[in-house]
Structure formats: structure tokens, C-alpha cells
């Protein structure tokens, strides 16, 4: 439980003397920085005590997959293994074992745990747009942009809503660039053939 007063975010001095949850700035007594502080009930709440898991008392009783001497209280919602109170990891109403939780986080199966995503649509669009500054690079980057856009078309995009417009633009631009190179190569070959003939 946090019973210490809040601290100034500039000089770290304790802020005593009240003035919290008021819609105005109050000066820090040490550095005189103007602060508005909003404190919520969680500040004074004790963290919930963890459970150790009950020992099996009756032979034949279901036991935890990871602790054979502990009584199982529920199955894992990910893999179905029985879990004791210690292994039970509750997440937004669902119960997982530590393994499923870690796999869900690293493989992105539990989106609420996902803390990183690569934006392939932005990468594809950047590959299609930026090399236009020095057009000769597009002979390499246009196929790369096309590949990235097609390969990762169904990959998860940003967690916040995002359409596929970047993919579409990248494919259009890359296709135009490839077409331009093909036309340019055709005329170059024709010109070389005529000059040799």
C-alpha cells in the first residue's frame, strides 16, 4: 500500500500540504514547478495476495500438471492442462498456464499481451516512395516493395485500426516503377539494335 505522498516530477521532493485532485496548478515547495496532481484510490490499495496452491489431501484427486502434489483448481484455457492456484495466471477473465502465456505473448496469439508489431505496410510504402528521390535505386527497391506488400498482405497490422491502403499504394507505385523500367529497357534495346544494324 502506498502511504507516501506524491513527489514532484522535476526535483523529486515530497509534495505535502494538500492541493490534490483540484483543477488548478499548485507550486512544488522545493523547485516551485507548477503541478496538477490527480490521485486515484489505487494509490492507497494493497496489492492482492498471491495464492500458493493447496496440497493434495485425497488420493486420486486431480493434480496440477506442473506441481503433482498440488490440487488442480481449473484447466488452462490455452492448452487444457490442469493448474493449481499458483500456476493459474488470470488475464481478463481467462486462465492460462505460464507456458501458454509466454507462447501467447511471443507468437502474438494473445493480443492483449502483444507489446510490439512490425508495420510491413509502412515498410512496403517506404520502399516504393523514398527511392524515387534517386530513381536508379528503384530497379532494386520496386520489386522489394512488391514482394513485401504481397508476402505480408495478411500479416497483422497496427493494433490500432489501420486499413490496407498503404499496401495498395505500395503495389501501385512499385508496379508503375517496374513498368517504367521495362519500357525503358525495351526502348534501349531497340535503340541499340538499330544503331548496330
Partner 1 sequence: MAETAYRRLTGARLRRRGFLTAFATRSSLWLADDHLLCVDSTGYAEEYKRFYFRDIQSLTIRKTDGLRVRAIVFGFLTVVCIVLALVINDVAATVTMGLIGVPCLLALVLHLALGPMSVCHLRTAVQVEELPSLCRLRRARKVLQRLRPLIAAAQGTLTSEEIERQLANPPDAPPVIGPSPAPRSTPPIRSYEGRSHLILFCLLLADLPMTLVNVAVKSGWLEGASLLLLAVTFGFGIAALVQQRNTDLNSAVKCIPVLTLICGGLFFLASVVYGIFTVVQNPEAPTDNLSSLDNPVVLTMTIVSTALSVLLGAFGLIHLRRYRAARRAAAPLAAIVPPVA
Cβ-contact 131, 141 below 8 angstroms: yes
Task: Rule CB under 8 A: say whether 189 interacts with partner 1.
Answer: no
Task: Rule CB under 8 A: say whether 62 interacts with partner 1.
Answer: no
Distance CA 187, CA 189 (A): 5
Binding residues among 97-156 for partner 1 as defined by CB under 8 A: 109-112, 114-119, 122-123, 126
Minimum distance between the CB of residue 180 and partner 1, rounded to whole angstroms? 26
Using DSSP, state whether 161 is helix, strand or coil: coil
Closer residue to partner 1 (CB): 119 or 169:
119
Strand partners, 95: 90
Closer residue to partner 1 (CB): 34 or 59:
34
Distance CA 146, CA 127 (A): 9
Q: According to CB under 8 A, which one of 57, 59, 161, 163 is a site residue for partner 1?
A: 161
The sign one gets for the Cα dihedral 132, 134, 139, 144 is: negative
Task: Rule CB under 8 A: say whether 168 interacts with partner 1.
Answer: no
Using DSSP, state whether 98 is helix, strand or coil: helix
Minimum distance between the CB of residue 46 and partner 1, rounded to whole angstroms? 6
Distance CA 136, CA 89 (A): 54
Distance CA 54, CA 70 (A): 5
Closer residue to partner 1 (CB): 86 or 126:
126
Choices 1-9, 67-75, 80-88, 138-146 (CB under 8 A): range interacting with partner 1: 1-9
Distance CA 41, CA 54 (A): 32
Q: Count interface residues toward partner 1 (CB under 8 A).
A: 52
Cβ-contact 170, 148 below 8 angstroms: yes
Q: According to CB under 8 A, which one of 82, 89, 159, 183 is a site residue for partner 1?
A: 159
Per-residue x/- marks for partner 1, 23-42, CB under 8 A? x-x-----x-xxxxxxxxxx
Distance CA 60, CA 156 (A): 45
Task: Rule CB under 8 A: say whether 89 interacts with partner 1.
Answer: no
Which stretches of the chain bind partner 1, using CB under 8 A? Answer: 1-12, 18-23, 25, 31, 33-44, 46-47, 49, 109-112, 114-119, 122-123, 126, 158-161
Amino acid at each position: 500500500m502506498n502511504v507516501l505522498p506524491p513527489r514532484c516530477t522535476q526535483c523529486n521532493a515530497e509534495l505535502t500540504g494538500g492541493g490534490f485532485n483540484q483543477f488548478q496548478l499548485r507550486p512544488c515547495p522545493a523547485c516551485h514547478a507548477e503541478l496538477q496532481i490527480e490521485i486515484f484510490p489505487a494509490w492507497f490499495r494493497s496489492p492482492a495476495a498471491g495464492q500458493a496452491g493447496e496440497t493434495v489431501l485425497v488420493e486420486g484427486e486431480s493434480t496440477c500438471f506442473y506441481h503433482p502434489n498440488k490440487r488442480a483448481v481449473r484447466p488452462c484455457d490455452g492448452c487444457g492442462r490442469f493448474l493449481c492456484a499458483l500456476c493459474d495466471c488470470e488475464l481478463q477473465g481467462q486462465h492460462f498456464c505460464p507456458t501458454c502465456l509466454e507462447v501467447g505473448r511471443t507468437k502474438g496469439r494473445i493480443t492483449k499481451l502483444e507489446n510490439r508489431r512490425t508495420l510491413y505496410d509502412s515498410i512496403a510504402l517506404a520502399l516504393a516512395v523514398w527511392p524515387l528521390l534517386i530513381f536508379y535505386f528503384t530497379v532494386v527497391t520496386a520489386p522489394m516493395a512488391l514482394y513485401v506488400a504481397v508476402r505480408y498482405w495478411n500479416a497483422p497490422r497496427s493494433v490500432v485500426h489501420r486499413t490496407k491502403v498503404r499496401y495498395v499504394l505500395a503495389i501501385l507505385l512499385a508496379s508503375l516503377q517496374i513498368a517504367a523500367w521495362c519500357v525503358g529497357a525495351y526502348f534501349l534495346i531497340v535503340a541499340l539494335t538499330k544503331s548496330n544494324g
